[in-house]
Structure 1
Amino acid sequence: MTKSLGLALAGLLAAAGSARADLQTCGDAQYDPAQYVCHDGNFLCPIIAGEGLSYCSGACYSTYMYTCTNNVLTPLQPLAGGTPFTLTVSNPTAEAVDGLAVDACNQRWNLGIETCSYCPDTGIECPVGDTTVVSAPDTTASGSEPAMDVIVPGGQVVYLDPSGAVGYTQAHSASIPEGSTQGGLAAYSGGGFVNLNSGGYGWVACPSTASGGGGGYTLFAVNADNKATLASCTPVNLKVNVQPSGTVGAWQYT
């Protein structure tokens, strides 16, 4: 996601020299409609993770992070800290993953499988625990990170492990793998869940290779170090679905 036209213009130059019959015209240039969208008959913006970027006064932008009002581009408002939300995958060009819910299981964020949760046998009443709910970080506090929306004392913090996979701490433990990234993840009202860490290149869904199989996909944040490794995975956006105040996802996610 970017508000720069640089990527679009670079692609435009490549497309201009092509003789492909399916190229379309935007202003004085030709473009591939599978890779770009034309705004107002003159302005090209790239398609990223299935989203044709919108246009605002000289800039391409993602509606998962920005809005355009009276030709002024402004960031969406982050959710207030502690707001519960779920996540849905979006990539209209990738039918296999488009519309899947993000599910927590085995200390990972996954797609296309069931949520894994636990309720202690102590006679207390637990949430159903079959939906993965996340608690928004407090973006006004330095170092704040999102957390799983749980009851278990100490909570379960969300992080990016060294491979880029989205993980969360085990209950009763603050331990995360060495080299992991904490913080830099934002949830926007009316928008998406975004990795703001330096060098972030969005999200991808990779077929699960977990021991024992089970199908589904694992969610990764792409960066300069893992970009080549994850090149065959499917780029996706993460849509934020705000839940009613007081929603609790589970006692704990496993």
Structure 2
Amino acid sequence: MAPPLLTALAALTLAPLVLATPATLLPCGAASYLPTEYVCYNNRTLCPIINSLPLSHCPPSGGCYAPQQFSCDAATGELRTLPEAAGDRPFVLTAWGTRSAYRGKEVNACGGYLAIGANARVCTGCPKGREGVDCGEYGGRTVFRGDGRMVSCRCPWGQYWYIHPSDGVLKYTDVLVPPATTWVDERPERQWTGRGTTAYENGFLVADGAPHYFKACLRTHLGGGVGTGRAWRLYATSNWVALDADCEPVKLVATMVDAKMGAYEYH
């Protein structure tokens, strides 16, 4: 991985070139800028907005950086990578991109896939007859852990999320109650959980080989007709070349949540 400062400065090149009329521009010192594309700090420094996430300004160094990946030392201007979330820390994922259909919305689990958008359903069921289970605690949200568990599922052998190695799609396992050997011999996805991803505390979810971006691809729900009930399914970007034109780059941000007693299964 490139040094933090180089990574932060490289992000400046990702801002799109936009031609604007004078009426749309605002002053920032001697410069002018589009408020939809940049943020002005101290009336002199412009930092771009990338995938609807504005870069912050580190005053001592004068550079811009992604606060979802770095922190700025106010005394020295040094950029430090955010700490990685411990494997047992629960978090929810929020998608950020240019499209309002999924921007700022949490990642949901339904039908074996992780997806975003208005039609991305949360398919949960409350396990009955299990002592100490309160299905109302998490409010039906999709909650993850860095080690690959779906944290809100208190199920025999658990429930797990993973990146499928064949096409990079983000999926999760069924709820099963098999012998341990069945997971190893017949359920290879159990072995893929927690691999190839890193979640920073209140920062980006990172996939190996693609430190910033995932891809959101518009897909029809299982059993639905073309053009109906479509949601944005998520893929790791290393497999971008195999995907079609109905895909857009998104960033996923992990927000830490409190560990609770609530539990339910995802279907």
Aligned pair partner of 1:212 in 217, 223, 231: 223
Matched residue, 1:160 = 163
Aligned pair partner of 1:69 in 69, 73, 82: 73
The yes-or-no answer on 1:238 pairing with 2:240 is no
Change (3 A) 1:171 1:230: same
CA contact (8 A) 1:200 1:223 kept: no
Please report how far the alpha carbon of residue 30 of structure 1 lies from its aligned counterpart in structure 2 after TM superposition.
5.9
Change (3 A) 1:171 1:202: same
Please report how far the alpha carbon of residue 48 of structure 1 lies from its aligned counterpart in structure 2 after TM superposition.
1.6
Instruction: Output the CA distance in 2 between the equivalents of 1:230 and 1:39.
Output: 39
Matched residue, 1:94 = 99
Instruction: Output the CA distance in 2 between the equivalents of 1:151 and 1:181.
Output: 17
Change (3 A) 1:146 1:230: farther
Change (3 A) 1:147 1:195: same
Aligned pair partner of 2:200 in 173, 179, 188: 188
Instruction: Output the CA distance in 2 between the equivalents of 1:207 and 1:229.
Output: 11
Instruction: Output the CA distance in 1 between the equivalents of 2:109 and 2:20.
Output: 47
Please report how far the alpha carbon of residue 76 of structure 1 lies from its aligned counterpart in structure 2 after TM superposition.
2.0
The yes-or-no answer on 1:147 pairing with 2:161 is no
SS in structure 2 of the partner of residue 78 of structure 1: coil
Change (3 A) 1:81 1:96: same
Please report how far the alpha carbon of residue 148 of structure 1 lies from its aligned counterpart in structure 2 after TM superposition.
0.8
Please report how far the alpha carbon of residue 226 of structure 1 lies from its aligned counterpart in structure 2 after TM superposition.
0.7
Please report how far the alpha carbon of residue 197 of structure 1 lies from its aligned counterpart in structure 2 after TM superposition.
0.9
Change (3 A) 1:221 1:45: farther
Change (3 A) 1:88 1:199: closer
SS in structure 2 of the partner of residue 217 of structure 1: strand
CA RMSD in angstroms comes to 3.7
CA contact (8 A) 1:164 1:222 kept: yes
Instruction: Output the CA distance in 2 between the equivalents of 1:219 and 1:147.
Output: 19
Change (3 A) 1:227 1:4: farther
Instruction: Output the CA distance in 2 between the equivalents of 1:105 and 1:45.
Output: 37
CA contact (8 A) 1:159 1:183 kept: yes
Alignment of 1:1-254 (within 5 A): 3-8=7-12, 21=22, 22=24, 32-56=34-58, 57-70=61-74, 71-91=77-97, 94-111=99-116, 112=118, 113-119=120-126, 123-125=129-131, 126-128=133-135, 130-135=140-145, 137=146, 145-149=147-151, 150-161=153-164, 162-172=166-176, 173=183, 175-176=187-188, 183-189=195-201, 191-213=202-224, 215-226=229-240, 229=243, 232-250=246-264, 252-254=265-267
Q: What percentage of aligned pairs have identical amino acids? A: 31
For structure 1, list consecutive stretches of 5 or more residues without a partner in the other structure.
138-144
CA contact (8 A) 1:157 1:169 kept: yes
Instruction: Output the CA distance in 1 between the equivalents of 2:13 and 2:31.
Output: 10
Please report how far the alpha carbon of residue 28 of structure 1 lies from its aligned counterpart in structure 2 after TM superposition.
6.9
SS in structure 2 of the partner of residue 87 of structure 1: strand
Alignment length, in residue pairs?
239
Q: Please list the CA deviations of residues 177-202 of structure 1 after superposition, one character each: whole Å capped at 9, or x if unmatched.
A: 6xx7852323333x234114113441
